[in-house]
Chains A and B, each alone.
Chain A
Amino acid sequence: MNIEKLKSAHKLLNEYKYELGKIEKGYTNRTLYINVGDNTIKEKPVTQLMKDKFIGGKGFGLYYLWHAVTPETKWNDSENEIVIGSGPIGGITQYPGAGKSLVCSLSPLTGMAMDSNVGGYFGPLLKFSGFDALELQGKAEKDVIIFIDGNKGTITIEEAPEEAIDSHILGEQLTEMYAENEEDKRNISVVSAGSAANHAYMGLLNFTFYDVRRKQIRLKQAGRGGIGTVFRDKKIKAVVIRFAGVKGNLNNADDQGKINRTGIKLHKEIHDFDAQQCRMRQVGTANIIEVMDQYDLLPTHNYKFGAHPDTYKISSKVFTGMITQNTPDGCWYGCSLSCAKAVDHFELKTGPYKGQKVIVDGPEYENAAGLGSNCGIFDPHAVLELNFYCDTYAIDTISYGTMTAFVMECYENGLINKEITGGLELNFGNAEASLEMLHQMARGEGFGKLAGLGVRNLKKIFAEQYGADPVFLNDIGMEQKGLEFSEYMPKESLAQQGGYGLTNKGPQHDEAWLIFMDMVNNQIPTFEDKAEALHYFPMFRTWFGLNGLCKLPWNDIIPASNKHSDEPAKIPEHVQNYVELFNGVTGKNIDKEQLIIQSERVYNFQRIFNIRMGYGKRIHDAIPYRAMGPVTVEEYLSRAERYDGQLKELVGFNPEGKSTEEKMAALRAYREDQYQMLTDAVYKRRGWTMDGVPTIEHLQSIGMDLPEVIEVVKKHL
C-alpha cells in the first residue's frame, strides 16, 4: 500500500478553517454543511427549535432533509442530502451503546426519507470536532474525499482518484493516510461505501473504528435503504474524520457523576448476567439463530417456513467456534455489551479477493438468517463469505438476503429461468450462485446488476418483461414501501405484522419487535393491547435514534429488578436509566412520559414527511400475504395442524372435508381482516385518521404543529 502515491494524486478543491467549538450539555450548537457539487463548506447554528422539537440524531437528519428537498425530489437529484449525526447523549463513554451515528437520506428503494443507525466512531468524533451533524449535498464531478480534522479545525474536499472503492481496503488506506502515527489511528473514522453501491439500490455505508488490539480497522454498517448508493451517486468516496483526545467528559454534561453511576450500574449487570442471558459478549446477536428456529420464527426459503432441520449447521455454536478475538469488542468506547464480533484470517474462496485472508465483521443474526437460512444456505463459510463481500462492496445484507430469497423462489417456480439469470442456477441453497450474483452486482454486470434494484423493482420487471404472475409476485415478494423485510418470520404474529407494516421507513424490526410478547408470552392478547404496544415500542425505540444510542443495552440485558416490575417488557429500570442519562447530559428534567413525547414529535414528523413525498398513507402500510399467512399449498400443508386448528377455533370454519385451497382462502380472508382491524386500532392509538394521517389536534397536543407540517397534513384530511 503506497500511501504517499495515493495522496500525491489528490487535488485540493476547497479548504475551510473553523474555530474549534465547545460542547455544552451534549450539544455543539453547530452543524456542518458541505456541498460537493460546488464545494461549499459552511457552518450552521443549531436553533432552539431544533433541540426542543427534534432533539438530535435522526431528528436533526429528518429536519434538514425536509428543508433540503421538495415533494418532487428523487434520490439521485443533487439536492438530496445525506445527513449524519449523533445526538445529545452520543459520545458519552460510560453507558453501553452510546456511540451511534444516525444517517438520513431519500432512499433509492423507497423514495422517502430513510434512517439507518450505525456504530463506529464517526458520530462521536464529529461532535467532538465541533458539529452536531453533517449535511452532504450536491454531486461531485469526480470522486472526492472529505477530511475533517477536529484538532486543527480544518476541513478539506479533495479529489481522490486512486484509492480503492471497496471499504475493507479503502478504510485501511485512509486510516493510514490521515493518522499521524500508529497511536493516532484510533482517532480516525472513515465513512465509505463500496463498488456494488455504484450499481445497486441497496448500497450501504460503512463506518470504521480502529481496533487497537487487532491493529486493523473494523466496519460497522448503516445498512438499510440504499444510503450508500446515494453516497456514490454524489461521487463521494469517503468522509474521514480525525479527533485526538477522547475523554469521558467531552459532552460537558450537566451531571457527569449521574452518568458515571448509571453506566457502572449497567456494566455490573452485564458482568453478572450476560453469560446466562443473551451471551452478547460471547457470540453477539447471532445468539438467537437456533432460538428463532425453535419457535418457528427463523425465515427459511423466502419466509415460507420458520424452521429447518439444517439450522444446526449455522447455529450460534458453530459461529462461536469461528469467531476469533482477544476480547469482546464494542463499536464505541464503554460498550461492555460488546456485540461486535469478527472472524480473523478468513480465507476467501471466490471473487476479486479470492485466496486473501480477511477480517469478517460478523456474523450478525440478520446475516446468518438473511444470507443463510432464508436462501436455504446452511453453510457457515458461505454465510461469512457473503457477509464479507456484502460489507466491503457496500451491500445491505438484509435487503440482499431477502431479495435473493425472492429471486430463488421465482427461479424454483419457473417465473425466471437460466436464460434470464445469465446461467445462474438460483435454487435455494446454491451459495455459489448467490456469491456470483453478488460479484456481478459489484461489477455492474448481468443478472446481479438487475437484482440490485431490489424486490419492488424486480417484481415489476419479472411481471412486465417476463410475464410472471403479478399477484403471486406481490404475495411472495417480501418488501413493503420498497424496502425488503428484515429477518424475522411475522406470519404467526399479528403484532409483528403491525411491527413491520405500520412503520415509517419500511419493514425493519428497529421500531417494534413484538413476536415474543405476542406469541410466546401472550402479553398482548387484544387489538387494544397490540395497538398500545405498537404505539409505545416504536416511540420508545425512536428515542434511541434521537440521542445517538443503541437499542441493545435496553433489553438484551435484563436487570434483577425486572421480575418484580409491573411492565417487564418495557424493562422499567433501564427506561429510567435513559431518563437519567438524558437529564444528566442536558440538564433538563424529563420523565419517562416526556421521553415518549419527544419521540412522538419526530415519529409523526417522519410520517408526514412520507405523506409529503407522496406516500405514508394506509395503502402504503399494506404488507404482502407471505408476511401474514401461507401463500402456497406447500406452506399450508407444512403446518396443517396449526392452520386447521385456527380455522376451527378462531375463524369458525370447519376444515373437515374441505380442500386445501378452500382452507387457505378462508384463512387468508380471516388474517387479512385481522390486519385491517389491527391497523384501525393502531391508527386510533397514534392519533391518526383511518387513512393514516396524523390529525391536527394530535399534532397540537404533542407539540409538532409547525406551520410547514400542518400545511402538508391539511391537504390530506
Chain B
Amino acid sequence: MKVLKRKPELCIACHACESACSNTWFKEDNADKSCIKIKEEAKGNVIISCTQCGECISVCPIEAITRDKNGIVRINKSACVGCFICVGFCPELAMFMHDDYIEPFKCVACGQCAKQCPTQAIYIEQE
C-alpha cells in the first residue's frame, strides 16, 4: 500500500507541499484546501497527513469511506452526508473540512506534494 511518509526534522516549512496539494485537487493555491498541513511549532515543524490507518472507515455512518484495492482510504463524495465525524475522530487530525465544501477531504497518497518537497521531508513509500 502507498503511504505518504514524513520526516518532520527535515521540514523547512516552505509550504510548497500545501500549494502543490491544493493546486492538484482544488485548482487553487490555498493552504486551507490542502490535504497536508505544515504547522510551525516552537518545538519544531509538524507535518499533518493521513497515514491511511482507516479509523475513519469505521466511524462513517453511511459507509462512504472505504479502502481501495491499493490500500488507500477514499471518500465517496456522492454518498457522503457531510457529518464530519471522520474529521473529529481522525487520530492524526488529517481529515479536513473547508467552508466551501460539504464533504471532508484527505490525502490519497498521490505524491504530488512529495515531488515539490525540496528536502525529502515527505515521500511516498510502499508498505
Residues of A within 8 A of B (CB): 93-94, 186, 212-213, 246-249, 256-257, 260-261, 263-271, 326-328, 330, 333-336
Which one of B62, B63, B80, B84 contacts A263 once the chains associate, using CB atoms below 8 Å?
Answer: B84
Q: Quick check: B85 and A267 within 8 Å, CB to CB?
A: yes
C-alpha gap A265/B102 in the complex (Å): 16
B window 56-90: CB within 8 A of A: 58-59, 61-63, 80-85, 87-89
Q: Quick check: B84 and A260 within 8 Å, CB to CB?
A: yes
Residues in chain B near residue A328, CB distance under 8 A: 59
- Whether A247 touches B88, Cβ cut-off 8 Å, given contacts A212-B63, A260-B99, is no
Q: Quick check: A327 and B58 within 8 Å, CB to CB?
A: yes
Name the distance in Å between A64's Cβ and chain B's nearest Cβ: 30
Residues in chain B near residue A326, CB distance under 8 A: 58
Which one of A94, A268, A270 contacts B82 once the chains associate, using CB atoms below 8 Å?
Answer: A94
Q: How many residue pairs between the two chains, A and B, have CB atoms under 8 Å in the bound complex? A: 73
Which one of A263, A269, A334 contacts B61 once the chains associate, using CB atoms below 8 Å?
Answer: A334
Name the distance in Å between A584's Cβ and chain B's nearest Cβ: 12
Q: Quick check: B81 and A247 within 8 Å, CB to CB?
A: yes
Name the distance in Å between B68's Cβ and chain A's nearest Cβ: 19
In the complex, the chain B residue whose C-beta lies closest to that of A268 is: B88
Instruction: Say yes or no: is B121 at the interface (Cβ < 8 Å to chain A).
Output: no
C-alpha gap A265/B87 in the complex (Å): 9
Residues in chain B near residue A257, CB distance under 8 A: 99
In the complex, the chain A residue whose C-beta lies closest to that of B96 is: A264
- Whether A333 touches B83, Cβ cut-off 8 Å, given contacts A212-B62, A260-B97, A271-B89, is yes
C-alpha gap A94/B82 in the complex (Å): 7
Q: Quick check: A327 and B81 within 8 Å, CB to CB?
A: no
25 A-B pairs, CB-CB below 8 angstroms?
A: A93-B81, A94-B82, A247-B81, A248-B81, A248-B83, A248-B84, A248-B102, A249-B102, A256-B99, A256-B102, A260-B97, A261-B97, A264-B84, A266-B88, A267-B84, A267-B87, A268-B88, A268-B89, A271-B88, A271-B89, A327-B59, A328-B59, A333-B61, A334-B85, A336-B88
C-alpha gap A266/B82 in the complex (Å): 15
Residues in chain A near residue B87, CB distance under 8 A: 264, 267
Q: Quick check: B99 and A333 within 8 Å, CB to CB?
A: no
In the complex, the chain B residue whose C-beta lies closest to that of A263 is: B84
Closest 4 pairs (CB-CB, A-B): A248-B82, A267-B88, A334-B83, A257-B99
Q: Quick check: B58 and A336 within 8 Å, CB to CB?
A: no
C-alpha gap A249/B97 in the complex (Å): 14
Q: Quick check: A270 and B88 within 8 Å, CB to CB?
A: yes
Residues of B within 8 A of A (CB): 58-59, 61-63, 80-85, 87-89, 97, 99, 102-103
Residues in chain A near residue B63, CB distance under 8 A: 212-213
Q: Quick check: A336 and B59 within 8 Å, CB to CB?
A: yes
Residues in chain A near residue B82, CB distance under 8 A: 93-94, 247-249, 260
C-alpha gap A267/B104 in the complex (Å): 14
C-alpha gap A256/B102 in the complex (Å): 8
Residues in chain B near residue A213, CB distance under 8 A: 63
In the complex, the chain B residue whose C-beta lies closest to that of A326 is: B58
In the complex, the chain B residue whose C-beta lies closest to that of A331 is: B61
In the complex, the chain A residue whose C-beta lies closest to that of B58 is: A327
Q: Quick check: A246 and B85 within 8 Å, CB to CB?
A: no
In the complex, the chain B residue whose C-beta lies closest to that of A267 is: B88
In the complex, the chain A residue whose C-beta lies closest to that of B63 is: A212
Q: Quick check: B62 and A333 within 8 Å, CB to CB?
A: yes
Name the distance in Å between A255's Cβ and chain B's nearest Cβ: 9
C-alpha gap A432/B127 in the complex (Å): 57
In the complex, the chain A residue whose C-beta lies closest to that of B93 is: A268
Residues in chain A near residue B81, CB distance under 8 A: 93, 246-248, 333-334
Residues in chain A near residue B85, CB distance under 8 A: 267, 334, 336
C-alpha gap A313/B6 in the complex (Å): 50
In the complex, the chain A residue whose C-beta lies closest to that of B97 is: A260
Name the distance in Å between A266's Cβ and chain B's nearest Cβ: 7
Name the distance in Å between B97's Cβ and chain A's nearest Cβ: 6
Q: Quick check: A186 and B62 within 8 Å, CB to CB?
A: yes
Known: A267-B87, A328-B59. 11 other contacts (CB 8 A): A212-B62, A249-B102, A260-B97, A263-B83, A264-B87, A264-B88, A265-B88, A268-B89, A269-B88, A336-B88, A336-B89
In the complex, the chain A residue whose C-beta lies closest to that of B103 is: A248
C-alpha gap A271/B63 in the complex (Å): 19
C-alpha gap A257/B102 in the complex (Å): 9
Residues in chain A near residue B62, CB distance under 8 A: 186, 212, 333
Residues in chain A near residue B83, CB distance under 8 A: 93-94, 248, 263, 333-334, 336
C-alpha gap A678/B49 in the complex (Å): 57
Q: Quick check: A330 and B61 within 8 Å, CB to CB?
A: yes
Residues in chain A near residue B61, CB distance under 8 A: 212, 330, 333-335
Residues in chain A near residue B89, CB distance under 8 A: 267-268, 271, 336
Name the distance in Å between B89's Cβ and chain A's nearest Cβ: 5
C-alpha gap A146/B80 in the complex (Å): 29
Residues in chain A near residue B59, CB distance under 8 A: 327-328, 336
In the complex, the chain B residue whose C-beta lies closest to that of A209 is: B61
Name the distance in Å between B103's Cβ and chain A's nearest Cβ: 8
Most buried by B among A94, A186, A266, A269: A94
C-alpha gap A11/B82 in the complex (Å): 39
Residues in chain B near residue A93, CB distance under 8 A: 81-83
Name the distance in Å between B63's Cβ and chain A's nearest Cβ: 5
Name the distance in Å between A249's Cβ and chain B's nearest Cβ: 5
Residues in chain B near residue A266, CB distance under 8 A: 88
Most buried by A among B80, B85, B88, B103: B85
In the complex, the chain A residue whose C-beta lies closest to that of B88 is: A267
In the complex, the chain B residue whose C-beta lies closest to that of A269 is: B88
Name the distance in Å between B80's Cβ and chain A's nearest Cβ: 8
Name the distance in Å between B50's Cβ and chain A's nearest Cβ: 16
C-alpha gap A91/B80 in the complex (Å): 15
C-alpha gap A64/B103 in the complex (Å): 37
Residues in chain B near residue A330, CB distance under 8 A: 61
C-alpha gap A335/B81 in the complex (Å): 12
C-alpha gap A246/B87 in the complex (Å): 19
C-alpha gap A326/B58 in the complex (Å): 8
In the complex, the chain B residue whose C-beta lies closest to that of A328 is: B59
C-alpha gap A242/B44 in the complex (Å): 53
In the complex, the chain A residue whose C-beta lies closest to that of B86 is: A267
Residues in chain B near residue A249, CB distance under 8 A: 82, 102
C-alpha gap A93/B80 in the complex (Å): 10
C-alpha gap A247/B102 in the complex (Å): 8
Residues in chain B near residue A334, CB distance under 8 A: 61, 81, 83-85
Name the distance in Å between A534's Cβ and chain B's nearest Cβ: 34
Residues in chain B near residue A186, CB distance under 8 A: 62
C-alpha gap A249/B80 in the complex (Å): 11
Name the distance in Å between A271's Cβ and chain B's nearest Cβ: 5
Residues in chain B near residue A264, CB distance under 8 A: 84, 87-88, 97
